[in-house]
Homo-oligomer: A and B are copies of this chain.
Amino acid sequence: MTKEYITTWFQGLQDEICQSLEEKDGKGKFHQDLWERAEGGGGRTRIMTDGKVIEKGGVNFSAVHGEMPEKILNALQLPKANFYATGVSIVLHPQSPMIPIIHMNIRYFEMSNGIHWFGGGIDLTPHYVQEDDAVFFHQYLKDVCDRFHPNYYPKFKQWADDYFYIKHRKETRGIGGIFFDRLSSDEGFTKEERFGFVQAVGKAFIPIYFHMVDHNRDKEYGKNEKKWQYLRRGRYVEFNLVYDKGTKFGLDTDGRIESILMSLPPQVEWHYNVQSAPDSLEKKTLNLLKKGIDWAGSNGEL
């Protein structure tokens, strides 16, 4: 299982996902920018703008290498080493507030000293939380995880709850999903088996997102729902700029800014002290943006 093999598979996944999304969207096309990193490696940034379904979306591949930054070596208490990092990273902001924002990332990291690991996850940020979609989403992820290890879903689901948390708002970013990092030889799996899991997560993206699109694209909405969408996107920005480790890492290491910040929504609003009416769908959503909801266990019965 060489890094070249993993890299090529990631590129293939990017191609596949872009093609599927273009077909599903029916109007938007991905624009590709190839970029190179002075210190080694580069990427393929692909952005769709003003599609029928997707207002702004990025499906990015990168494979970078070079010397490990001092800052990170110190944090991890490691001696000098070279690194190689490759991954696929997706954020899609839909036109319709009835369709959730989705994020997926899978990544592989190795160092010249032999240390290597996988990381990744999928999480969903509905502007309006709908129980049936949330149950479908978590059940799908649980099924993927359960094919590999019974501990994976509960562990990675909680990891996502903890990671995608906007501390200063006391809100989760969305309904979570799964998140994992530094997946190495725990649970006795071989590297091939672990990569098998990462591949399964990557392959889950399209069926999950298509379900969300098909289930919600014909739902009507008006000015109020758009307004709410802009506000929820504000929370997305707050999370990504204040807490997201991938974004921070990119900004700290002088990464390609336009590729990193493609995750930011096209239109956003911040208003002072917005309050939602007690019985509104907005309030219902806020009440469901918390850690520890057992969506997959509940089968819709919360």
Contacts and interface: CB of A to CB of B under 8 A. Distances in A.
Contact of A269 (B168, B266, B271): B266
Interface string A198-242: 000000000000000000000000000000001000100110011
A49 B237 CA distance: 22
A145 to B, nearest CB: 33
Interface string A44-82: 000101000000101000000000000000000000000
A126 interface: no
B242 A237 contact: no
A238 to B, nearest CB: 6
Interface in A257-295: 257-258, 261-262, 264-273
22 contacts: A49-B272, A56-B270, A56-B272, A58-B272, A167-B251, A168-B254, A168-B257, A169-B257, A230-B267, A234-B264, A237-B237, A237-B241, A241-B242, A242-B251, A258-B272, A258-B273, A266-B270, A266-B271, A267-B267, A267-B268, A267-B269, A268-B268
Interface of A: 33, 47, 49, 56, 58, 167-169, 230, 234, 237-238, 241-242, 251, 254, 257-258, 261-262, 264-273
Given A237-B241, A242-B242, A266-B269, 20 more contacts: A47-B273, A49-B272, A56-B270, A56-B272, A167-B251, A168-B257, A230-B267, A237-B268, A238-B261, A241-B241, A241-B242, A242-B251, A258-B272, A258-B273, A262-B272, A264-B270, A265-B270, A266-B270, A267-B267, A268-B268
